[in-house]
Chain A
Amino acid sequence: MSDMRYAVAIDTGGTFTDVTLFDRDDGRMWTAKTPSTPENPSTGFMNGIATALEQAALSPVDLAQVFHGTTVATNLILEGKGATVGLLTTAGFKHVLAIGRQDIPRRANLFAWIKPERPVPPERILEIPERLDIDGNTLVELDETAVRAAARRFRERGVNAVAICFLNSFVDPCHEARAGEIVREEHPDALVSLSSDVLRVFREYERSIATVLNVYVMPAVSHYVGQLAERLESEGANAPLLIMKSNGGVVGAGEVERVPAHTALSGPAAGVVGARFVGAAAGYQDVIGIDIGGTSADICLIKNGQYELTNNGRVGDWPLSFPMLDINTVGTGGGSIAGISDIGALTVGPRSAGATPGPACYGRGGEEPTVTDAHLTLGHLPPYLLGGTMTLDVDAARNAIERKVAQPLGLSVEEAARGILSIGDNDMVGAIRVISVERGHDPRDFALIPFGGAGPLHGGSLAKLLGAKTVIIPPSPGVLSAMGLLVSQFRADYARTCLEGPPDYDHARMAQTFDELETEATAWFDRERVPAAARQLTRSASLRYRHQGFELTLPWEGESVTPETTQATLQAFHALHERLYTFAQHDTPVEIVTLQVAAEGSLPQPRPTEIPAGGSLEAAQIDRLPIHFAEGTQTVPVYDRTKLSAGVTFSGPALVVQLDSTSLIHPEQRATCDRFGNLILETD
C-alpha cells in the first residue's frame, strides 16, 4: 500500500527536536536532530521535518502520517504558565481545590512544608446552587440564572477558560452539560471543560484538578496543534497529525484539542512504546525501560509485551487520574550535579546543570561536577563526541570533581567519580524497585532497555545492581522515543464509576455502562476514520476487596456481562491480588468499582530494520582508550556502532560509540549485536 509508505515522527524535547522518517516498504530510516524552539515549538517541528525530507529526497506530499510527541502541556503544568481559568462548582464546595486531600506529604517535614499554590485561586471559583445525590437524583435544581451571571462575570474579567465540576456529576452529568451550554451562550469566546467529559470518576478533588488542568493547557495546546496542522497543510502535507497521549496511544489533533490534559506524559510515553517495540524485536517480552536524559530518568515496566497503565499518575504537584503509562521519574540524569551537603554527605541531584551551563566538561561555564563529568573522568566517555561537533574538556571535569567532591571527602578523583555514579545508579535502582514491586514483579526477571542519551552508560551497572541478566541497547538509543511514535497505535480509554457488590451485582446496569462506553469509543473511531477492520474494543474492570482503597484493573472475562463472566472476573481478581501482594481473601466480598473500555485502532506496523551480517569486529574498532575501574585502569577497545554487523560478539570491557550516545560494557559482560542492530549485553 504505497500511500502508507512514509511516516515521520517528531519528538520535541527541551533542547533538541528528534525527527525520524521511516519507509515502511523497505525499512529505511532517516533521522535528523534540530534545535528545539521553545518560543514557537512549531518552528523546530517544521525545520526537523524539512531536514529529514531533504535527506530522503522526498516532499511533504509523500507523507502518510505525522506522529508527534509533545511536552507543551507538561511544561505549562510544571511551570505554572497555563491560562487564566475560572471554575464553577457546587454551592458549598468552593474550597475543594484549596483543601486538596488535607495531607502533608509523607516525606515532608511539617514545620517546613508549604502547600502548593493551586492553578485556580478561590476568587475565580464561583459557586452555583445545584445538587445531585450519589444516585443521581436532583436535590437542588440547577440555578441557571446563577450560571449566566457567573459566565458574564468571567467574560467581563477576561477569564476565557472555564472548568465546570459539580458534585456527583460522575453519576449524572446533566447539570454540568446544561451549565456548559449556558456558559457557551453567554461567553462564546470561552473554552469550556466539563468534569464529566474529562474524567468521569468519583473523588471531587482529583476530578476538579483534572478538569481545571485540562482547560488550563487548552488554549496553548489548541493553538499549537492548530498551528502545526496549518503549517503541515501549507507545506502540502495531507497526512493526518497524530499525537501521543499519556496512555501510549495516538489520537488525531481534534481529540487533543478536546482533552489536551491527556498529553501530559506525551513525551515519555513515546519512549515506553519504543522500548516495547525494541524488546519484542529482540525477543524479550518482559523489559524495564530506563530513559536517562539530562535532568531525570523515566522508568517503565513492560510485562508480557504489555505496559501497565495507572490511574494514580501525577504531574508536578497534581494528581492526574487519567489512565496513563505507569512511569516513575527520578531526578537523576547526566546533568545532575554532585556536591557535599552542609553536613558532609555526598549528594547527586536533583539540581541539574541542564543544557546551559551544562556539565563542567562542556566548557560553557559550568563549574559544578555532574554525572557526565564523572563518566568522562573515568574514561566511560571518549573525550570527543562522534560527529566531531564538540570536544569534552577532561581537565575541567576532573577539576570540578576534585574541588567539590574528592577533596572534601578525602578521596581520589577517580574514587569520587565512582562515588557519584554509585549514588546516581542507586537512586535509579530504588525507583526501579518501587515500580516493579508495586506491580508484584521481581526486577531480576526483566531485561533492561537503557535509552536516552545517557542510558547506555548506565545500563550495565544498573543490571549488575538489580541482578538483571540481560541489557538491550537499542540501535539509536537517543531517538527511541521517535521510534515509539512510529510504531504507535490509536488508543483512547473510557471509564465510568459503577459501584457493584455482592450478592447481587447488577448485571444489567454493568452491561449498559459497558454499552455506553463502547458507544463513546465508536464515535471516536468514526471521528478518527479508523477502518472497521482495524478497530478493537477491550473491556476491563477495576476491582477491590470491600473496604480496600486501591483497585486492581483486569480484563473483563468474556464478551458479555453475565453471572458467569462476573464470577470469572472475580476469580481473576483473587489470583492477581495473591500474585501482587502475596495473599488472596476468598472469604471477603469483592466490589467492582469502575468499568473501562479501551479503544485501539491499529496502524500499519513497520518491521524492525535488519542490519548486514558477516563483518569483522576488527573493522569496527576505531580506538583504544583507558578506563579507570575500581580494580585498576585498563585500556579497552572502542567500537564504532555503525560498523558492528549482525552476529559479532565481544567481551567487556569496551566502549561502543555512536552519534547519539556511548555504551559502556563492563568487564564481566559480553556483548552481541543482533540482526536488528541491538546490542545485547549478558553477564557471565
Chain B
Amino acid sequence: MNVDLKEAPICDAVTLEVVRGALRASQNEMEALIERTAMSAFIREKKDFFVALFDAAGDMIVGAYRPTFGDPIRPLFEHYPAAEMQPGDLYWYNDCYGSAGSVSHSPDQVFVSPVYVDGELIAFAQSWAHFADIGGMRPGSISPDCTDIFQEGIIVPPVRLARDGAVNEDLLRVFFRNSRFPDICQGDTRACFAAVRLGERRIVELAERFGPAVITDAFRQLSERSERVATERLRNTFAPGRYQFSDSIDHDGQGNGPYRIHMELSVDDNGVVLDYSDSDDQAPGPINYLLNPAVPRAMMSMHLLAGDPTLLLNSGAGRAIDNVVLREGSVLQPRWPAPLGQRGLTMMKLLSGSQGLVNAAGGQATAANCAYVIIFARGIADDGEPFLLTDGIGVGYGGRPDSDGIDAVYYVAQENYPAEMVEMSYPARLRSYGIRCDSGGAGQWRGGCGVVREIELLAEEATFSIRIDGAEKPPWGVHGGHNGGPGRAVVNPGTPQERELDPFSDGNVVKRGEILRLETGGGGGWGHPFDRNPERVLKDVLGGYVSRDSAERDYGVILDADGEAVDAAATKARRADRPTVGGMFHRYGYRDILE
C-alpha cells in the first residue's frame, strides 16, 4: 500500500488504541520467539531478556515493566548517524561506558534494527538478553572478585552487525571465541536476531496499514499520555518541598563498605529534580551502577503508572522528572574502568529507594524488597564436561499499603530452576527448597518470606560465587512494620564441618557431598504488626511462614494449646501492651532517617 504522507490523517482516538494493542502484540511475539529458541538457562528458564520498540528519534514507546536499562538507541548515533542507517541494518553492543549506562553490565547484549517504510526511518526494534558467559576472569563473566570491567568479559562497542541483511560473521566469530560456552552464545545470538527482525516486520505492517504518519503520531500520543498522567500523579504524591532517602549496600565483594545510596527529590516551580550526588564514592568491587538517567525515571514512573494497562512505561512517562543529577566518581556514576557486574544489588536498592522517597514524603508506598539472590557454581562434572550452574533464588518483597509482600519471588518474568531440572542438567541435588520461616518483616501487611535452598554437590569440586545483600542491613520496614530477615549462606549446616560463607563472595570451594544451604532475606513489613488480623497470623503459623514465637512476640497473637486457633482473649490482653512506633522506617528499631 502506498500512503501519501501529506494526505494521511493524524492518529484518531480509536486508531491510537489499535496501535497500542498491536505494539503490545508485537512485543509478545518477539518475546515468545526468544523464549522458545534461546539456549542459555539464563535466558530461556530465568527469562533474563527484554524487547522494546522505539520511535525514530530513539525514544522508547513500549518498554517492559522492568526499569533496568537506559536509553539504548542513542548510543548508536554517535557512531552511525541515523541518516547513514539503511533498511536491513542490525546493530549490536554491550559497552556500558560507551553507552552512558544504557546497558549496565557487559553480559547484557543489545541488538537493534532500524525500521523503514518507503525509505523513511520510522522506528527501532530492540532486544536484549543476558548472555551466560562472554569471557572474563570467571565462568559466568561476572563475579564479586572483579575489580575492573575488563575482567567482566569482552566489550563490544556499538557496531553494525548486518548491512542489507547480510550478517558480519567475522565479528561474531570473535565474540563466540571469547565465550567459555560458544555454542550457547551462538544460539542466544540467533534467537535475539530473529526477534528484532520480527519486531521490524510487525511495525512495517502496522505502518503499511495506517500510514507512517499515523504511526508516528500514535507514538507521540502514547508518549505524551504517559507523561501527562505521570506528571499529574507525581505532583499529587509530592507537595512542593525536598525529600530525602538513603540506604546502604553491605559491601562491594572486596571487603569495602557499606556503601550509602542517597537520593533527594525536590519539587518546586522550576520542576522536579532527582539528585543522587550525595551517594558514596565508587567502589573497588563490582557493585557500581553506571546509572543512565532513564533508569530512575522509569523506576518512579512505574510506581506512578501502576494500575492502568493503557498507560505504557516509556520515555514520556520518564519526563515527569525534569532532571536527574549524578556525581561522577560516585557509586552511581563510576569512572571507567570500574567493575559493574553485580550492579543488580544496587539496582534493587534504588528500586526500593524510590518507594522510600514516597514514604518519606508521607505517601503510601511499599516497604523494601530484598535484592534477589544469585549463585554461580563452576566445576568439572564426572563425565569430564565443564559445567556452569547459575541459580537465581527468590527472596521476599516488601509489604504494601493494602497487601502482604510477595513471598519467594525473584523478579519480573524470571523463573527458578526446578529441582528436577537441576538434577537432570547439573551434578547437583536439592536437599530442600522451601519458605524460610520468620524472614518476612512483621507488619499489618507482612513482608514476603525468603526461601531456603540446600544444594548437595555431586562433582569432585566446584567453586561457588554467592551474591546475597542485606545480611548487615536487611530490607527496611515502614509505617510501623519491621525490617525483613537477613540472608546467609552456610556449608554443611548442623554438622561439625559447618562453615558460614561471606554472603557476597567468590572462590568458595565446595567438595563432593558437601551441602550449601542458602537462606534468602525477606521483605520489610508495612504497618504496625499488632494491627494484623489475628486470623492471618494464624494462617501464617500453620503454613510455616511465621513461628509461634514470632506470632506472640512480634504480632501479639496467642494461639491455643494445639496451635490451631487464635486465643482471642489472650491476644487481646497481649495486644493491650502495644509497642510505640518511633519513626517512619524500621531496621532493628524505628527511625526516621535510615542511614
Chain A: residues with CB nearer than 8 A to chain B? 91-96, 98-115, 121-123, 133-134, 167-168, 170, 202-205, 341-347, 409, 411, 415, 418-419, 422-423, 426-427, 429-431, 433-434, 437-438, 499, 545-550, 577, 580-583, 585, 587-588
Contact = CB atoms under 8 A, between A and B. Distances in A.
A434 B29 contact: yes
A121 B407 CA distance: 14
A172 to B, nearest CB: 13
Contacts of B305: 109
Given A102-B414, A103-B415, A109-B307, 13 more contacts: A98-B408, A103-B410, A104-B409, A106-B65, A112-B307, A133-B423, A134-B420, A345-B20, A347-B17, A426-B18, A549-B35, A582-B194, A588-B187
Given A109-B306, A110-B397, A427 B21 contact: yes
A95 B13 CA distance: 47
Interface in B1-60: 13-18, 20-22, 24-25, 28-29, 31-33, 35-41, 44-45, 47
B39 A545 contact: yes
Chain B's interface size range is 35 or more
28 contacts: A93-B433, A96-B419, A98-B543, A99-B407, A102-B392, A102-B415, A104-B412, A106-B47, A110-B411, A110-B412, A111-B303, A112-B307, A113-B406, A122-B542, A123-B539, A123-B543, A168-B423, A204-B419, A423-B21, A426-B18, A545-B39, A547-B41, A547-B184, A547-B187, A548-B38, A548-B39, A549-B38, A550-B37
A104 B184 contact: no
A202 B424 contact: yes
* Highest count of chain B CB atoms <10 Å: which of A205, A434, A437, A550: A437
A211 to B, nearest CB: 14
A204 B406 contact: no
A437 B310 contact: no
A427 B41 CA distance: 32
Nearest to A551: B36
B13 A93 contact: no
Interface in B504-521: none
Contacts of B424: 134, 202, 499
Contact of B36 (A123, A168, A429, A550): A550
Given A110-B65, A423-B17, A99 B408 contact: yes
Contacts of A426: 17-18, 21-22
Contacts of B308: 341-343
Given A426-B22, A433-B29, A549-B45, A347 B310 contact: yes
Nearest to B202: A433
A121 B536 CA distance: 13
Given A204-B418, A426-B18, A103 B13 contact: no
Interface string B384-403: 00000000111001001001
Contacts of B429: 133-134
Query: Which 8 pairs of residues, A with B, have the shortest CB-CB distance?
Result: A92-B432, A430-B25, A419-B14, A549-B44, A106-B413, A547-B39, A123-B542, A102-B394
Nearest to B451: A99
B421 interface: yes
A550 B421 CA distance: 13
B446 to A, nearest CB: 13
B95 interface: no
A235 B591 CA distance: 76
Contacts of B65: 106-110
B190 to A, nearest CB: 5
Contact of B32 (A101, A133, A345, A438): A438
B271 interface: no
Contacts of A105: 412-413
B435 A98 contact: yes
Nearest to A499: B424
A430 B33 CA distance: 15
Contacts of A107: 65, 309
A345 B310 contact: yes
A111 B413 contact: no
B549 interface: no
Which of A112, A343, A549 has the most B CB atoms < 10 Å from its CB? A549
A122 B310 contact: no
Given A107-B65, A114-B406, A430-B22, A203 B539 contact: no
Contact of A437 (B64, B198, B393, B416): B198
Given A99-B408, A167-B420, A343 B21 contact: no
Interface string B351-374: 000010000000001100000000
Given A94-B434, A109-B302, A122-B544, A102 B408 contact: yes
Given A110-B65, A547-B184, A547-B187, A95 B408 contact: yes
Most buried by B among A133, A205, A547: A547
Contact of A203 (B39, B41, B302, B418): B418
B229 interface: yes
B434 A93 contact: yes
A343 B187 contact: no
Contacts of B22: 426, 429-430
B9 to A, nearest CB: 13
A134 B422 CA distance: 10
A99 B433 contact: yes
B451 A581 contact: no
A103 B47 contact: yes
Contacts of A106: 31, 47, 64-65, 412-413
Contacts of A430: 21-22, 24-25, 28
Kindly name the residue among B303, B309, B311 whose own CB sees the greatest number of chain A CB atoms within 10 A.
Answer: B309
B383 to A, nearest CB: 11
A170 B408 contact: no
A263 to B, nearest CB: 26
Contact of A111 (B228, B302, B454, B542): B302
Contacts of A547: 39-41, 44, 183-184, 187
Nearest to B413: A106
Nearest to B432: A92
A95 B520 CA distance: 15
Q: Considering residues B21, B191, B403, which has the most beta carbons from chain A within 10 angstroms of its beta carbon?
A: B21
Nearest to B395: A102
Contacts of B410: 102-104
Contacts of B21: 423, 426-427, 430
Contacts of B190: 583, 585
B432 A93 contact: yes
Contacts of A419: 13-14, 17
Contacts of A134: 420, 423-424, 429
A103 B414 contact: yes
A422 B198 CA distance: 24
B434 A437 contact: no
A364 B26 CA distance: 39
Contacts of A94: 434, 544
B173 interface: no
Contacts of A123: 539, 542-543
Given A343-B308, A433-B25, A581-B194, A588 B544 contact: no
A258 B268 CA distance: 68
B265 to A, nearest CB: 17
Contacts of A170: 420
A98 B436 CA distance: 12
B544 A95 contact: yes
Nearest to A167: B419
B225 interface: yes
Contact of A581 (B37, B229, B303, B411): B37
Nearest to A170: B420
A122 B435 contact: yes
B431 interface: yes
Q: Which of A103, A110, A548 has the most CB of B within 10 A?
A: A110
A202 B421 contact: yes
A589 to B, nearest CB: 8
B36 A438 contact: yes
A588 B543 contact: no
B539 to A, nearest CB: 7
